Amino acid sequence: MGRLPAAGVGKLVLEAERAPAGEDRNTRRRALVSLVVKGVRELGSELRQVVIIGSGPAGLTAALYTARANLEPLVLEGELSSTGDQPGGQLMLTTEVENYPGFAEGILGPLLMGQMRAQAERFGAQLLPAKATRAKLTDGGPHTLWYRDPSTGDEVQVEAKAVIVAMGARALMLGLPRERELLGYGVSTCATCDGFFFRGQDIAVVGGGDSALEEAIFLTKFANSVTLVHRRGELRASKIMQERALANPKVRFAWHSVVTGLVGTDKLGGVMLQDVRTGEERELAATGLFVAIGHVPSSDILRGQLEVDEQGYVLTRNGTTATSVDGVFAAGDLVDHRYRQAVTAAGTGCMAAIDAERWLEDHEDIAGPNEGSR
């Protein structure tokens, strides 16, 4: 079975992320893509034991476990980009991660994901920074996937007996200039992850639903004050959440307001608010802005094939990671819209790998359409 070059994509990614921004990092990334293109040609159209889509904590943990089970997984990591589907997932857009077990002093998000990549590759996982573009999932397998060649942009087909989908979910953003540049420097989408960093500060939360109020109330454990910015004059959240927020002396409200701009160069110093009724603008002093307007699961290529809920999250069965299609397993934030933590995603990645391994043991007779001619 063809392998990506022994130099190691995971090692290159780790070195690229450790390097300072600029020519060194870009040079290493160009070397990475060159290796991947060579690997794409080597892989051919052979039937794989397992293909994993996604390379956040869930996908890479699944890769580690399936690799150690000698299943030689192929991981379609996503494209080298900054849009949320890049290799490494959402943690590539964070700075310090302090709540992942095993790192007493914390660790940078990109470095953590680089180490996960290197660990999975050490045991034989094949890592391909390419985006899955289509899927044909067949009950009982084999399954056919297409991904975009990172060199030519052409679609390449791969077949697998089992598939683990772990593409995650992306937080909806406000679409403001420099919003993504300030992620990790005052702008956040996760109060549980980042609230501790804002101890004694004045911060803001955007949103009016249960999630926004939960984040605001949680943040009062650390912040001096939390201003909830909402475009309406009343909240959409459940009554009990409204009562809790309104009764909390640290929670303030900016009614009929939207965020129109971010103040600060290297880190957030304030947000510009506009009254939707009068058009009047004002600056709100805030060193933190938590965007809590919802998440969207990255399940587009699966819809119509796997059962999903009304929001698009993949449904699993009987406490396992098995989906509605036999031989397809789901993990991470693609499934979980409650916890959305790196450590819980990694846990379900482990579950999916074990479920896939046991399923493959019971389905050794699966053959691809070309297998008989080899």
**For residue 111, with 0-12 CB atoms within 10 Å meaning exposed, 13-18 middle and 19 or more buried, which class applies?**
middle
Query: What gap in Å lies between CA 306 and CA 297, rounded to an integer?
Result: 13
The Cβ-side half-sphere exposure at 119, using a 13 Å CA radius, reads: 16
What's the sign of the alpha-carbon dihedral 295, 297, 300, 306?
negative
Catalytic residue among 24, 85, 194, 336: 194
Do residues 259 and 214 lie in contact, with contact meaning Cβ atoms separated by under 8 Å?
no
Structure tokens at 53: 């889509």
Query: What gap in Å lies between CA 55 and CA 126, rounded to an integer?
Result: 12
Whether 266 sits among the annotated catalytic residues: the reply is no
Conformation bin of residue 140: beta by default, left when phi > 0, alpha when psi is -120 to 50: left
CA nearest neighbour of 124 among 56, 54, 50: 50
Whether 85 sits among the annotated catalytic residues: the reply is no
CA nearest neighbour of 67 among 5, 109, 116: 116
Catalytic residue among 85, 139, 154, 190: 190
Catalytic residue among 193, 202, 336, 355: 193
Whether 300 sits among the annotated catalytic residues: the reply is no
Structure tokens at 48: 């794989």
- The residues carrying an active-site annotation are 190, 193-194
